[in-house]
Every structure is written in structure tokens, then in C-alpha cells.
Chains A and B, each alone.
Chain A
């Protein structure tokens, strides 16, 4: 299957610092990528939809000024958690939407391995 990478895989930071997470589609171009967050024993919750070359679309309740998304190329989207606080500690997962034609006749989403963020 297609490969999506995330970096870093885990990060521990002090409260008030900013953390950048990268999501890369390694073997296909992704016009659309998604950022999810998962708290312990909870389901994945969509935070935002990242579109290459345009502003991200944020879900209700997600602060766009706190979670900055940049999708500067067809293979890279970044999520920056600004002024992180302990309540931002979570598992952040990206997914990339692979269009039909490359191994499949329909769109498929592929997930990155996730980034575990711990804010002290």
C-alpha cells in the first residue's frame, strides 16, 4: 500500500512552546490531507482538512490560530501546535487522500504512523 510518514513520532515539550509535525506522502501526490487527534480511549476526531495551495478547513471547536496548518506541496502538510499546553497532549495522526488511478479505481486514505505529543 501507499506510504505516509509523520515526523516526529513522539515529542515531549514544555508548556508554552510550539511544536511542528510533518506529514508526507512518500509515493503519491496528495491534494488533500487530514489531521486527526485521538485522546486515550477515544475515537479519532477530525481537526482539519488540509488542501494544497489553499487555507485549511477547520472543524468546529478547533482553533485555527492555535493549530496552524500549511500544505505547501502535494506531498507535505505540516501541523504546528502553537503555545502548547498540557491539554494538547494527544496522539496526532495525519492521513493523505490518494486519488483514483494509482493502484485503485477509487480514492483511498492512508494514515501516517502518528505523533504522540506530551506537553509538560
Chain B
């Protein structure tokens, strides 16, 4: 079983739509969680960290449910520039700071 699982999509949504991505992780001892954004043929870039209490950054809201080992990302009022692949990333407690990446969820926002 892969350590971090995501729905690969693609998600095709119109501008202004709200879209949600989900992710599950298998290591219950994992300590820190992130959403990264990766544009085509580019390196991943940190979008936001995910905290137990949930956190919001503008149009982006991240939630963590430790009991269910589930992470979510909500994007409101989608923009064309949000089109990218969104990577769910987990830092497992037993491997220091090496990150485990999901395969990513592809988002395409259309006019």
C-alpha cells in the first residue's frame, strides 16, 4: 500500500468554482503534513502546511483529521492560474525530514 494516496484526477472546473482534494496516509505516527503545488516540468513549491486545527490562507483551506489519517485541501473561487498538480506530502516521524509525496491531483481551471 502506498504511503500517501491521492485521487489523481484530473479535476476540470470552471473559473470561480470551489474544488476539494483529498489525501490519505498510512503511517499513523506521521508528524507534519503539507500541500505542495507543482507546475508542469517544474519543482514542487510549498503551498501550505496543514495543522491539526485546520488552517486557511486566502482562498485555500487545509484540514487534517488524524483519527482518519486524512488531509484535505479546499480551493475557493478558482482562478485560471490555479491549474497545476497538487501534491499531498507527509513527513513520516520515523525517517527524519525526508518527505513522502502522493502522486498528485491534477487541476485544470477553465474559462
Residue tally, chain A, CB below 8 Å to B = 23
Which residues from 1 to 46 on chain B have a C-beta closer than 8 Å to any C-beta of chain A? 4, 41-46
**B42 contacts A113, CB within 8 Å?**
yes
Least CB distance from B83 to A in Å reads: 16
**B97 contacts A97, CB within 8 Å?**
yes
User: For the complex, would chain A's binding face be called helix, strand, loop or mixed by DSSP majority?
Assistant: strand
User: For the complex, would chain B's binding face be called helix, strand, loop or mixed by DSSP majority?
Assistant: loop
Residues in A with CB closer than 8 Å to B104 are 43
Residues in B with CB closer than 8 Å to A95 are 99
How many Å lie between the Cα of A93 and that of B36 in the bound state?
Answer: 14
> Given A32-B96, A49-B96, A43–B101 Cβ distance below 8 Å?
yes
Q: How many cross-chain pairs have Cβ atoms below 8 Å apart between A and B? A: 44
Residue tally, chain B, CB below 8 Å to A = 17
**A44 contacts B101, CB within 8 Å?**
yes
Q: CB-CB contacts of A86-120 with B at 8 A, as 1s and 0s?
A: 00000101010100000000011101111010000
B79 interface hit (Cβ, 8 Å): no
Q: A32-B96, A41-B103, A49-B96 are in contact. List 8 more A-B contacts (CB 8 A).
A: A1-B46, A32-B97, A34-B98, A43-B103, A46-B100, A93-B43, A111-B45, A116-B41
**B42 contacts A114, CB within 8 Å?**
yes
